[in-house]
Chains A and B, each alone.
Chain A
Amino acid sequence: DGGITQSPKYLFRKEGQNVTLSCEQNLNHDAMYWYRQDPGQGLRLIYYSQIVNDFQKGDIAEGYSVSREKKESFPLTVTSAQKNPTAFYLCASSRAGGLTDTQYFGPGTRLTVL
């Protein structure tokens, strides 16, 4: 099946530890995105990548890092520098180019830092 997968669905970490969230897509999309959602809030953009080996910071990139070594993969690392890492993290992808490209979202990873 074509789609976007994120793993794991739930993740628990101790404060001060780095943690990496996985995002894989087999839609042959060029662009991929990471969003954060806090309870009762909308989505906020962390990082995005429009092509392999290139990515840009979104609105709330501090304390996060990404890599885009392969077209189908866009892992997000939540570092110990992130002050409030507990949140719901969503990965999305779209075809690159054009204003009408729709973003498709994965199921999300709920990260809880203890």
Chain B
Amino acid sequence: DAKTTQPTSMDCAEGRAANLPCNHSTISGNEYVYWYRQIHSQGPQYIIHGLKNNETNEMASLIITEDRKSSTLILPHATLRDTAVYYCIVRFHNAGNMLTFGGGTRLMVKP
């Protein structure tokens, strides 16, 4: 099963882009990369997912390297409300639709 590695914490200035990296060097061809975030004491919130191509939605952009061994979540204009723990997850293809969450990156957006 593919696992992910993320930095434990990051800081970002308000209004600037937040770039959150994730390594998933053992990812297999049919596994997707998902990003969730969790604001303190709330349930996780889905952000974005992708397979090979870069993806963008109203919340963020997801950049996946050509070899798919790493990805970056980009919050283009971080606000104080983006302060949260961000989880990078690789979907296990033989485990139904379960998601396994690691420790994530604690993003602190500062004024």
Contacts and interface: CB of A to CB of B under 8 A. Distances in A.
Nearest to A6: B43
Interface of B: 30-32, 34, 41-46, 49, 87, 91, 93, 96-104
Contacts of B30: 99
Given A43-B101, A50-B97, A102 B43 contact: no
A42 B102 contact: yes
A113 B25 CA distance: 40
**Dominant SS at the B interface?**
loop
B104 A42 contact: yes
B49 A100 contact: yes
B93 to A, nearest CB: 6
B41 A88 contact: yes
Contact of A35 (B42, B45, B49, B101): B101
B43 A106 contact: yes
Interface of A: 4, 31, 33, 35, 40-45, 48, 50, 56, 58-59, 88, 90, 92, 94, 96, 98-108, 110
Given A98-B97, A105-B45, 20 more contacts: A40-B103, A42-B101, A43-B44, A43-B99, A45-B100, A48-B97, A56-B96, A58-B98, A88-B41, A92-B99, A96-B96, A99-B30, A100-B49, A100-B91, A102-B34, A102-B46, A103-B97, A105-B44, A107-B42, A108-B41
Contacts of B96: 31, 48, 50, 56, 96
Which 8 A-B residue pairings sit nearest by Cβ, starting from the closest? A105-B43, A42-B101, A43-B101, A105-B44, A42-B102, A94-B97, A101-B97, A102-B46
Nearest to A96: B97
B43 A103 contact: no
